[in-house]
Chains A and B, each alone.
Chain A
């Protein structure tokens, strides 16, 4: 009882003006933020640095974000070098011992994730801006969302042992709901008549491997490097040959190049959000897949299988 009183007192002193003691969580991307909110409930206050409609590779290391990191109790990031161009500066400028690498307040969400496309052998930059630890877009497989939820609940319980039960309950609810939806999404995807697609960036491997789609080529064949005309004509030729009618494209990509390819290959672009907050009406992690599956269904289910 006495310790509880002190705990409340400390909270009041530390957070003058706020009645509730919350764990302040800062996430790099919006998908991690919505899951942190689902697991943490009213015990946490969550802010995301990148917006849902922003390319997470190219976030600017604005000093104002250093302030966010400075005030965080827990910093959650995607890892696999997705944020390598900006997060190190924010951590350095944040001057917060609680969230530096190795501290309890520093959480790499990629822990426990089965990473795809880990390069075999040495990599170099002729391959473009490649991620040497593997493809970092794992949040586009909702089963990885289940894993991230568990990772987060574990860390939150370490940071606030008194609330461990709350986090465990929230996790259970989150996972139950997501598992139920995953079964439905998988069922719907199984009915897609077309399985072959082209993608703009290497963003969709996890989604494709989950839904059994086959990505036969990329508009941007080397990550971060605009494609050459020669590559594009080869791609268009290939799309014609095996009759691929859909190009998956994240909604922060300028669609001009993809449009040119689509026109010449008689295909169409499927512009998709990659994170919650990516477009209006896509608020939760589940909303994201509802939107993606809806749109895939529209394009892939009705189309004639010609092969």
Chain B
């Protein structure tokens, strides 16, 4: 009788577990596996320039040096067809106090890199969040994006020139504070290891410090406005100070009664860097302006203007104008066609990109 009850209990237990898909036949639990998603980017790139800027192949063989990283570009600017990037994302709660998010990136079809690996606190008081690990520093808007989230195929000129192809991606600590005021405002303070060439002081004392303030307002129910300001400082390779400053403004519109059919975004961002080299100092900056318009449920048309060389003489400035058409069959895939007209150091050339983007696995939540 008792054994019969036990059997029934065992059967019930296994039925429950089979439903949740938790346990293999050998009793290994899968119940606490992290949420996994994979994002793939395939790119065809064609250029009318004699040689494309920041050609990938030359740098891949000796990639360890940080100077190389400066020109090695994330956006993938080699010509022809290529696997631009495959990204594996793992997300899970560690315990009641911490959440972990890992992003492993494969650029091209070989090699793997920890793009982001962060643990974030869940239990701090006073609206504080602490994070530690390797992450994209809170410098403006575009620097926070992973390659597959870029609004255009390539990063803005100013981000690429000032921060390098990988952006300001650093090992460090960050504290975010949600301000207790009448609108949404978040203040971030980050201490970074300073591996980017902007902050690569030769001795150990090359920490960089960054502050970012983001404010956000709703303009009625369908539109929003975001305003951000960033400042970073640290020691450069000449053991002098590098300063970074930036500002960004984003306007978004999406009518709530027809949320999946129409939307519009305007964004402008300015970044400025000044580097003291001891005997001389250098100041560079630039901006981009972009607009994205969703004119049907699955179609987007976008435009961007890039300018690098503020402050600089007129003839030393780089310009780029880009147009993009995106077809988005579902939340999980997209096809994008982009044409850019570049004017770099007096030379003019065009670039054509066709990109395919897919996501499989756990349903991602969409950051605003």
Would you call A81 an interface residue if the criterion is a C-beta within 8 Å of the partner chain's C-beta atoms? yes
| A224 pairs with B331, CB closer than 8 A | yes
On chain B, the residues within 8 Å of A62 by CB distance are 216, 218, 224, 368
| A254 pairs with B258, CB closer than 8 A | yes
Would you call B175 an interface residue if the criterion is a C-beta within 8 Å of the partner chain's C-beta atoms? no
Contact of A64 among B124, B216, B261, B331 (CB under 8 A): B216
Stretch of A35-43, A52-60, A283-291, A296-304 on the interface side: A52-60
Distance (whole angstroms) from the CB of A170 to the closest CB of chain B: 29
Q: Digit string of A48-71 for contact with B (CB within 8 Å is 1, else 0)?
A: 000101110011111110110010
| A89 pairs with B365, CB closer than 8 A | yes
CA distance A88 to B122 in the complex (A): 13
Sorting the interface of chain B by its residue count into under 10, 10 to 19, 20 to 34 or 35 or more gives 35 or more
Q: Digit string of A220-241 for contact with B (CB within 8 Å is 1, else 0)?
A: 0000111000000000000000
Contact of A51 among B99, B221, B297 (CB under 8 A): B221
Q: Digit string of B256-271 for contact with A (CB within 8 Å is 1, else 0)?
A: 1111110000000000
On chain A, the residues within 8 Å of B332 by CB distance are 125
Distance (whole angstroms) from the CB of A300 to the closest CB of chain B: 26
Q: Digit string of B335-368 for contact with A (CB within 8 Å is 1, else 0)?
A: 0000000000000000000000000100111111
Among B127, B129, B259, B329, residue most surrounded by chain A Cβ atoms (within 10 Å): B259
Contact of A60 among B214, B254, B298 (CB under 8 A): B254
| B365 pairs with A88, CB closer than 8 A | yes
Would you call B11 an interface residue if the criterion is a C-beta within 8 Å of the partner chain's C-beta atoms? no
CA distance A254 to B226 in the complex (A): 29
On chain B, the residues within 8 Å of A184 by CB distance are none
On chain A, the residues within 8 Å of B184 by CB distance are 63-64, 66-67
CA distance A66 to B184 in the complex (A): 8
CA distance A289 to B127 in the complex (A): 41
Would you call A264 an interface residue if the criterion is a C-beta within 8 Å of the partner chain's C-beta atoms? no
| A86 pairs with B186, CB closer than 8 A | no
Distance (whole angstroms) from the CB of B26 to the closest CB of chain A: 21
On chain B, the residues within 8 Å of A282 by CB distance are none
In residues 88-142 of chain A, which contact B (Cβ within 8 Å)? 88-89, 92-93, 95, 97, 100, 125, 128-129
| A55 pairs with B259, CB closer than 8 A | yes
- A64 and B217 contact, Cβ closer than 8 Å, known pairs A85-B366, A89-B367: yes
CA distance A166 to B227 in the complex (A): 45
In residues 223-267 of chain A, which contact B (Cβ within 8 Å)? 224-226, 251-252, 254
Chain B residue nearest to A252 (CB atoms) is B257
On chain A, the residues within 8 Å of B99 by CB distance are 92
| A64 pairs with B218, CB closer than 8 A | yes
On chain B, the residues within 8 Å of A53 by CB distance are 256-257
On chain B, the residues within 8 Å of A100 by CB distance are 122
Contact of B178 among A59, A70, A129, A226 (CB under 8 A): A70
Among B124, B178, B216, B297, residue most surrounded by chain A Cβ atoms (within 10 Å): B178
Distance (whole angstroms) from the CB of B96 to the closest CB of chain A: 8
On chain A, the residues within 8 Å of B124 by CB distance are 95
| A58 pairs with B218, CB closer than 8 A | no
Would you call A12 an interface residue if the criterion is a C-beta within 8 Å of the partner chain's C-beta atoms? no
Q: Digit string of B271-315 for contact with A (CB within 8 Å is 1, else 0)?
A: 000000000000000000000000001100000000000000000
Chain A residue nearest to B179 (CB atoms) is A67
Contact of A225 among B224, B226, B330, B365 (CB under 8 A): B330
Contact of A54 among B218, B226, B259 (CB under 8 A): B259
| A95 pairs with B128, CB closer than 8 A | yes
Would you call A84 an interface residue if the criterion is a C-beta within 8 Å of the partner chain's C-beta atoms? yes
Question: How many residues on A have C-beta within 8 angstroms of the other chain's C-beta atoms?
Answer: 35
Number of interchain pairs (Cβ within 8 Å): 89
| A84 pairs with B365, CB closer than 8 A | yes
CA distance A60 to B366 in the complex (A): 8
| B365 pairs with A61, CB closer than 8 A | yes
On chain A, the residues within 8 Å of B330 by CB distance are 125, 128-129, 224-225
On chain B, the residues within 8 Å of A225 by CB distance are 329-330
Chain A residue nearest to B260 (CB atoms) is A58
| B216 pairs with A95, CB closer than 8 A | no
| B298 pairs with A95, CB closer than 8 A | no
On chain A, the residues within 8 Å of B368 by CB distance are 60-63, 89
Distance (whole angstroms) from the CB of A79 to the closest CB of chain B: 14
Would you call B15 an interface residue if the criterion is a C-beta within 8 Å of the partner chain's C-beta atoms? no
Chain A residue nearest to B329 (CB atoms) is A225
Distance (whole angstroms) from the CB of A65 to the closest CB of chain B: 9
Would you call B123 an interface residue if the criterion is a C-beta within 8 Å of the partner chain's C-beta atoms? yes
Distance (whole angstroms) from the CB of A147 to the closest CB of chain B: 22
On chain A, the residues within 8 Å of B150 by CB distance are none
CA distance A63 to B141 in the complex (A): 14
CA distance A51 to B254 in the complex (A): 14
Chain A residue nearest to B361 (CB atoms) is A125
Q: Digit string of B123-146 for contact with A (CB within 8 Å is 1, else 0)?
A: 110011100000000000000000
- A55 and B260 contact, Cβ closer than 8 Å, known pairs A62-B218, A66-B184: yes
| B186 pairs with A54, CB closer than 8 A | no
CA distance A66 to B226 in the complex (A): 14
| B258 pairs with A252, CB closer than 8 A | yes
Chain A residue nearest to B333 (CB atoms) is A125
In residues 196-241 of chain B, which contact A (Cβ within 8 Å)? 214, 216-218, 221, 224, 226
On chain B, the residues within 8 Å of A58 by CB distance are 259-260
Contact of A61 among B297, B331, B366 (CB under 8 A): B366
Contacts beyond the supplied A64-B217, A64-B218, A224-B331: 11 A-B pairs with Cβ under 8 Å:
A58-B260, A60-B259, A62-B216, A63-B186, A67-B178, A67-B184, A87-B365, A89-B365, A100-B122, A129-B363, A254-B297
Q: Tell me the B residues contacting A by CB distance below 8 Å.
A: 99, 122-124, 127-129, 178, 183-184, 186, 214, 216-218, 221, 224, 226, 254, 256-261, 297-298, 329-332, 360, 363-368
Could you show 22 A-B contacts with beta carbons less than 8 Å apart? Answer: A51-B221, A58-B259, A58-B260, A61-B366, A61-B367, A62-B368, A63-B186, A63-B216, A64-B217, A66-B178, A67-B178, A70-B178, A85-B331, A85-B363, A89-B365, A95-B128, A125-B330, A125-B360, A129-B330, A129-B363, A224-B331, A252-B257
Interface pairs A-B: 8 shortest CB-CB: A63-B216, A63-B184, A88-B365, A89-B365, A58-B259, A54-B256, A61-B368, A64-B184
